[in-house]
Amino acid sequence: MVRNPEIDELIGALRAQGVHSVLAQFTDIVGAPKGKLVPLEHLQDLVHIGAGFSGPSIWGTGLPRMGVRSEYYGRILSHTLQVLPFWPGVARAICNGFAGGEPLETCSRQVLRRQVQRLRDRGLTLWVGVEPEFFLLREQGGQWQPADAQDQLDKPSYDLQSLYRQRGLLEELRVTLKALGFVLQQIDHEDANAQYEVNYKHDEALAAADRFQLFKLSVQAVAQKHGVRYCGMPKPFAHAPGSGLHLHVSLTDVTGRAVMANPEGLLGLSETGLRFANGLLTHADALTALSAPTVNSYKRLASTRSASGTTWAPVWKSIGYNNRTCTLRTVAGRLEWRVSDPSCNLYLALAGLIAAGLDGLDHGDWPLPQACDEDLYERHAQGLPMPPRLPRDLAQALDALEADAPLRVAVGTAVCQEFLSVKRQEWSQYAQHISSWEWQQYATGA
């Protein structure tokens, strides 16, 4: 192998910063960051050949136990190397998955790369603002509780007393994220006890997914250091709002002009924006599987009440201007996809959104969406007819993905098949589990 002098230079620069190891990080099909530590001197190999992992031991690779394609190679992207403030001596780099010397069709980052390329072929770039909501919890004797026992307000949105009590952790998170190049916009207490939201500047789609993985690694590490746990479960507590991962999306053309916005247009959108939204609404059921992919996700996507009014999670397929009760909220010429939650693989969720949006752009003959200017929770409470519902549980969502052949083909048949197989297994385990609720309801018979 010919040594790349630029990589040798990089090794020198990282060594001078005290780095001894590279964390070669990829993402498995369920969205978890995975990887291994490799001594810095192997950086040339990591870039050209990749870090080797046993393919079948990773969720959803579809790789066999033996032969040339049994090894998952994570080829690192040297420009993504960043020294981790919370892991002394370690620099993290993002990997693209390869097997048998070819890009791996089940690697979710490769899947998103393909969709980004489809946009680029039309001179388009998708920008994504990711809004992570999460809980800070403590695990005691198998029970999960708010990390801060005093965080008990009935209406806890923007609670400054809890924010102040968590200032040590939040300050360390701020410093960590800043050192990692995040441009922070705000940190606040969300609508449930122990729930927080961190907002940072948007990125191009692939970079947004890479950054979200780095966000999770950072918040998990900082929380652990402060003796608490980051919880990205969509609905940890039945009585309180859950955590979403809203995605603000917009498109620019080759000149950098925002092509989805039109302040005078319906919903503040241009024809392109409306057609893209149409694609998302048309494929919404299948997209729900990719955006809200766990059993628990559907306990969030339900119309239940909280002290502040509602769960604020979408239930019906709809689009409205600055309407948080809809699946798609339009704001400032952007689309906010409100279905996704932190348990998703963001690469796959975004790949699905792009594939669906492009289908909308290609179907100029589809009627334009109707703007919803009502509070849908209110409408539902009054017993009025509602727009069609999103899937009610993971099984329905998976059926919808299976049934939506055009979307599956556009996203990638192999990755969708693996996703469906892993997630059907998850559903089947859940369906066979006997919960304490069932014991309470049925133990003594009818």
Which of residues 197, 210, 336, 404 is near Mg ion by CB under 5 A? 197
Q: Which helix (H) or strand (E) holds 34?
A: strand 33-39
Of residues 233 and 286, the one with the C-beta less far from Mg ion: 233
Residue 391 Cβ, how far from ligand GLU at the closest point, in Å? 16
Interaction between residue 244 and ligand GLU (CB under 6 A):
yes
Instruction: Burial-class residue 437 by CB neighbours within 10 Å (0-12, 13-18, 19+).
Output: exposed
Q: Which is nearer to Mg ion, 114 or 338 (CB)?
A: 338
Burial of 106 (0-12, 13-18, 19+ CB in 10 A): buried
Residue 226 contacts ligand GLU per CB under 6 A: no
The identity of residue 439, as a single letter, is: W
Residue whose beta carbon is closest to ligand GLU: 244
Q: Is 313 in the site for ligand GLU (CB under 6 A)?
A: yes
Mask for 271-310, x = binds ligand GLU (CB under 6 A): -----------------------------x----------
Yes or no: say if 190 and 307 are a contact pair by the CB < 8 Å rule.
no
The region of 36-44, 200-208, 241-249, 342-350 touching ligand GLU under the rule CB under 6 A is 241-249
Is residue 336 a contact residue for Mg ion (CB under 5 A)? no
Q: Which among 56, 93, 86 is positioned nearest to 71, based on CA atoms? A: 56
| Closest chain position to Mg ion (CB) | 197
Token look-up 């040798």 returns 8
Q: Which does 288 bind (CB under 5 to 8 A by kind): Mg ion, ligand GLU, none?
A: none
- The residues near 72 (Cβ < 8 Å, ≥ 6 apart) are 26, 52, 53, 54, 55, 58, 61, 63, 97, 98, 99, 104, 107
Q: Which two tokens stand for residue 324?
A: 């948080």
Q: Between residues 148 and 197, which has the closer beta carbon with respect to Mg ion?
A: 197
Q: Is 242 in the site for ligand GLU (CB under 6 A)?
A: yes
**133 is an interface residue for ligand GLU by CB under 6 A:** yes
Torsion of CA 61, 66, 69, 73, to 10 degrees: 70
Q: Which residues are near ligand GLU by CB under 6 A?
A: 133, 191, 241-244, 300, 311-313, 324, 338
Q: Which residues are near Mg ion by CB under 5 A?
A: 197
